[in-house]
Amino acid sequence: MKKKWNLYNISESRGVILGVATLIVAFFHCFSYHFENITSNVFLIDLLYFLRKMGNIGVDLFLFLSAVGLYFSFSKDSNIKNFYKKRLIRILPSILIVGTIYYAYRQVGLLTYLKNITFISFFTSGVRDLWYFALIVILYLLFPILYKIIDKKGLRGLIGLLLVVVGLAILMFNFTPGLYKNIEIAVTRIPVFLIGLYLGEKIKNKREIPEISIILFFLLFIICNVVLFNVSFKYYMCVRYIYCILGISIVFIISYLHSKVKYELTDKVLVFFGTYSLEVYLIFEKLAIEVRKLSFVHVQNNFLFYTVMFIITMILSILLKKLCDLIVNKIIMRKNEAK
């Protein structure tokens, strides 16, 4: 009898995967780091550069897990008003606080601030400071519709949505190249979210697949990396979609390994980082960039610099999350008292 593997393991590994995604995204944003400074071992240098390049996929992991989590939430309570309230209240306070501090520090004008904080400049000028959150907000707003299509049509609904999304990206690329250039980083990430939404039902209902099929994801992981590192693509869009496949493969691989081998300390560390994934993503890159610009900061050791920046980021992330939770709880209490 063939051994089965339960897809619910993906849900149980959520915190661990989020932690991995948070770390590789932060590692990716060590953009000025030259690994030749810490080792002369060619294999190790290549491995570190490979891992940093993989940081691109951290966002795909976030989106996939976000879609799965949204499916769980919406299938329990399909009240659209409650859904929007819970989702937006989770991200908007953090965006407003960090965005306001960041743009005030950069001394941008009020109009520029408003355009950036409302994501308008992302579409009109390609300002990417908050691009991920612009995408997330749009996906949140569209989620009830996407959910209904996939819930009713299943795989056909998923394929239809993927064709529409990819088709629109191709049309934009050919007919509105300016707009496409501004938002390609977001629009090409939508497929991984849709696939996460489709698999959300399978994961929640604890569907089982042959354990041997996990080998397919290991093979996909290897093939995607071979293609990415050895093929020159005319259209970067193709690279983004390979990242999508690679991201899904990583989700399955980590979930499978986590279901077989668990280390309590490693799990706790990764879950800790994953808890603050939103805040780290908001803060780390901006903090590192602005600190490097300071005239009195002379970076002689990149490893030490980015380590210190990450530690400061974690402290700020914890404080930011506590502050946002406090604000949200006070708003909820006042509303309850008003009733």
Q: Which residue has the higher pLDDT, 301 or 71?
A: 71
Measured CA distances, 98 to 180, 191, 321, 322 (Å): 27, 28, 11, 14
- Residue 1 binned pLDDT confidence (cut-offs 50, 70, 90): low
Q: State residue 299 phi and psi, 5-degree precision.
A: -85, 110
Percent of the chain at pLDDT exceeding 70: 95
What pLDDT, in 10s, does the model give residues 56-95? 899 999 999 999 999 999 998 888 888 888 888 889 999 9
- pTM for this structure? 0.93
C-alpha closest to that of 282 among 65, 122, 72, 101: 101
The average confidence (pLDDT) of the chain is 90
User: What type of residue is 267?
Assistant: D
Domain-wise residue ranges, the chain: 4-338
CB 188 within 8 A of CB 169: yes
pLDDT of residue 295: 76
pLDDT of residue 67: 97
Find the mean pLDDT for residues 206-217.
94
CB 70 within 8 A of CB 136: no
- Residue 113 binned pLDDT confidence (cut-offs 50, 70, 90): very high
What pLDDT, in 10s, does the model give residues 124-183? 999 999 999 999 999 999 999 999 999 999 999 999 999 999 999 999 999 999 999 999
Give alpha helix (H) positions in the chain.
Answer: 8-12, 14-28, 42-53, 58-76, 80-105, 110-117, 120-125, 131-153, 155-175, 177-187, 190-204, 214-230, 236-260, 264-275, 277-293, 302-338
Measured CA distances, 104 to 122, 123, 202 (Å): 18, 22, 45
Q: Which residues, other chains included, contact 180 with Cβ-Cβ below 8 Å and sequence gap of 6+?
A: 169, 172, 173, 187
pLDDT of residue 31: 63
Find the mean pLDDT for residues 275-304.
88
What pLDDT, in 10s, does the model give residues 22-55? 999 998 888 656 666 666 777 777 777 777 777 7
pLDDT of residue 38: 67
Highest mean pLDDT among 162-166, 236-240, 257-261: 162-166
- Residue 236 binned pLDDT confidence (cut-offs 50, 70, 90): confident
